[in-house]
Amino acid sequence: MADKEKRRSGVTPPGMPEGRAAKLDSDREFLSSAGVGELLRGAILKMVEARSDDPVGFLADHFCNLASVTETGAAGCGDGDAHGNGPLSASASAQEAQQHLNRALWHLRLAHHSQRSAFSNNVRVAYDLLNLTGACRQPPEGPEGPEGSCTEGPTPEGGGGGVKGGLYTQTLQCLCSEGGVPASTSAPLLQRLHCQDHEAVPYDVFRHGVLTCAVFSDYIRQAQRLYAEVCCPDEGPASRALCLAVLGTLKEALETSQGCDANCCLNANAKANHCLEAGVKAIRYLEASAKISPCKLAQAMSGAQTRGPGGHMDAKEFENAAAELFITRVKVVS
C-alpha cells in the first residue's frame, strides 16, 4: 500500500503539464538515477512502522538525520584520508562518539515501546551503533583499522564485545530526560540499572535498561496526570489524604501485577512456551487494572476525604512517591 502510494506520487505528480511523454520519461529516469524511489520507500516504511502522530515532523527528522549521516559520513572519510597516518585526535573521536549517541537516541525515539517489533529493531540498531563507538574508542585495538570501519558506516562485525557501561548510562539518562522525567526522579532508577563505566554491557541488559526507562517515562507522565486529576489547580496543592488514597490504590494494583514487569523483560529473549504462565499473567493484569479502575479510585478517595491525615501534598512529592512504587519493582542489574 505504502509502496503503491509512493510510486503514484513519485512517477506522475499531480499538477504536471499533461501529455508530455518525453518529459515524463526523463523525469522517471531522473528519479530512478537519483534514488528517490528507494529513499521515499524507506522513509514511508519507517513512518508507517512508527505511526507517529506528527508524520511531517517525523519525515523532517528522518531526512535531516539521513542527510547529516551521509554528509558527516563523507566528511569522515575525507578526514580519515587526511589523517591516515596518525590516530584521530581525542576531540574528533569524542565528537564521533557524541554523533553515534545522537543517532542511537534518534533510533530509540522512532517507535513507542508498545510497538514491540519496531521498538526491538530500533533498540538493536542503537545497540550496534553504540557498540561501534566502543570499538573505536578502545585504544588497544590499534587506531587505524577500526577507525576506517566506523567512518564507513555500520559494520556488523565491528563490535567491541558490548556497549561500554558509561555510554549505556548516558543513553538511559538521555532517554529519561527526553521523556520529561526530572533528573532527581530518575536518579534512583538509574542507580538500579547502573553498570560500571568500564563494563561491556550485553544486549539483553541494554534492552532491559532502555525498555525500563521508556516505560518509566510513560509511567511518570501518567502519575503527573493522575496528580493533576486529584488536585484542583485553583485550590493549591491537593490534600494529603486524597493523594495517599490514590497512591495506595496504585500500589495495590502494582502488587497484583507484581513480577510481570520483571518477567516480561527477562523472558523477552528466551521465548519459552510459558502458555500457562502467560495466562496467569493476563489474569493478573486484568485484576490489577480493575483495582486501579475509576470506581475503585473514587471509593478510596471518598473514604479518604472523611478520615485520614490533614495537610497537603505537592506535585513533586506525589511524583516521587509514585516513582518509588515503580522503582522498588525494578531488579538491580548485576
Q: Any contact of residue 43 with other proteins (CB under 8 A)? A: yes
Closest CA to 114 of 230, 218, 2: 218
Our CB check for other proteins shows the closer of 13 and 236 to be 13
Q: Any contact of residue 59 with other proteins (CB under 8 A)? A: yes
Can you tell me which of 20, 25, 32, 35 binds other proteins, judged by CB under 8 A? 35
Can you tell me which of 29, 36, 73, 161 binds other proteins, judged by CB under 8 A? 36
CA within 13 Å, CB half, 220: 26
User: What residues form DSSP beta bridges with 313?
Assistant: 238
Can you tell me which of 32, 70, 196, 305 binds other proteins, judged by CB under 8 A? 70
CA dist 320 and 265 (Å) reads 24
Region binding other proteins by CB under 8 A among candidate stretches 49-57, 75-83, 91-99, 160-168: 49-57
On whether the CB atoms of residues 205 and 333 are closer than 8 A, the answer is yes
CA dist 304 and 115 (Å) reads 38
Can you tell me which of 20, 29, 32, 48 binds other proteins, judged by CB under 8 A? 48
Our CB check for other proteins shows the closer of 21 and 270 to be 21
Per-residue exposure over 128-144, b if at least 16 CB sit within 10 Å of its own CB, e if not: bbbbbbbbbbeeeeeee
Our CB check for other proteins shows the closer of 6 and 100 to be 6
Closest CA to 191 of 210, 173, 167: 173
Mask for 85-124, x = binds other proteins (CB under 8 A)? --------------------------xx-xx---------
Closest CA to 237 of 227, 222, 250: 227
Q: Any contact of residue 47 with other proteins (CB under 8 A)? A: yes
Q: Any contact of residue 34 with other proteins (CB under 8 A)? A: yes
Q: Any contact of residue 53 with other proteins (CB under 8 A)? A: yes
Residue 68 in grid coordinates: 547529516
Closest CA to 27 of 6, 42, 13, 43: 13
Site size with other proteins, rule: CB under 8 A = 43
User: What residues form DSSP beta bridges with 201?
Assistant: 163
Q: Any contact of residue 264 with other proteins (CB under 8 A)? A: no
Q: Any contact of residue 39 with other proteins (CB under 8 A)? A: yes
Can you tell me which of 13, 73, 84, 309 binds other proteins, judged by CB under 8 A? 13
Region binding other proteins by CB under 8 A among candidate stretches 7-15, 149-157, 176-184, 279-287: 7-15
CA dist 136 and 81 (Å) reads 17
CA dist 92 and 83 (Å) reads 11
Q: Any contact of residue 2 with other proteins (CB under 8 A)? A: yes
| Positions that interact with other proteins (CB under 8 A) | 1-2, 5-6, 8-10, 13-16, 27, 30-31, 34-36, 39-40, 43-44, 47-48, 50-53, 55-57, 59-60, 62-64, 66-67, 70-71, 111-112, 114-115
